[in-house]
Amino acid sequence: MSLSQSARAASAAESRFRITRPIAPARNARVIALDRAAEAVARRVAARSWAAARFYACGEAAEGRPPEALALFGLDGVPPVALREVLAGTDVVVVLAAGDAGSRQAAAIGAACGARAVTTAGVVLGDGFEADEAVAALRPYARVLLLSADEADVVELLTALRV
């Protein structure tokens, strides 16, 4: 140990030591369900207590309109709002998919998040990965795709991210 160092974790107790300081929620997350089945999952997850996460379902992706114009419906009853507004001020979007119905929306969300440097994660639910097209649409943008048969993964992911 060099002389300038005043402490070293020479015992298990010292190794355990950490400065105690409250940890603020790290993420201002948006959770977006791409299809009806995913929306049902999102509603169940949204019913839990979260620090700052907001939950949305997708409207139709209109052809010819920019991705940011995609309409989203807040699961807490707020009026439809454009994707660009949902993304304002967030740094992580978690997209939920249980089928291919939302693959066009997936691409729109991915592109919009990519353009804004918003980290994107996808949770694709289903035993047989019925959401192949949604996965393919998300793949270029989603930093992580969690292919899962277990909707509890959504809760686990959001909890781990402190949203």
H/E stretch holding 45:
helix 36-46
Count Cβ atoms within 10 A of the Cβ of residue 83 and give its class: 0-12 exposed, 13-18 middle, 19 or more buried: buried
Compose the 59-98 pattern: x for residues touching other proteins by CB under 8 A, - for all others.
---------------------------------x-x----
Looking at the Cβ atoms of 3 and 12, the one nearer to other proteins is: 12
- Does position 33 bind other proteins by CB under 8 A? no
Q: Which residue reads 């139709």 in tokens?
A: 60
- Does position 7 bind other proteins by CB under 8 A? no
Q: Which stretch binds other proteins (CB under 8 A): 38-46, 59-67, 75-83, 145-153?
A: 145-153
Contact (Cβ atoms closer than 8 angstroms) between residue 149 and residue 78: no
Contact (Cβ atoms closer than 8 angstroms) between residue 135 and residue 124: yes
Q: Which stretch binds other proteins (CB under 8 A): 8-16, 62-70, 71-79, 104-112?
A: 8-16
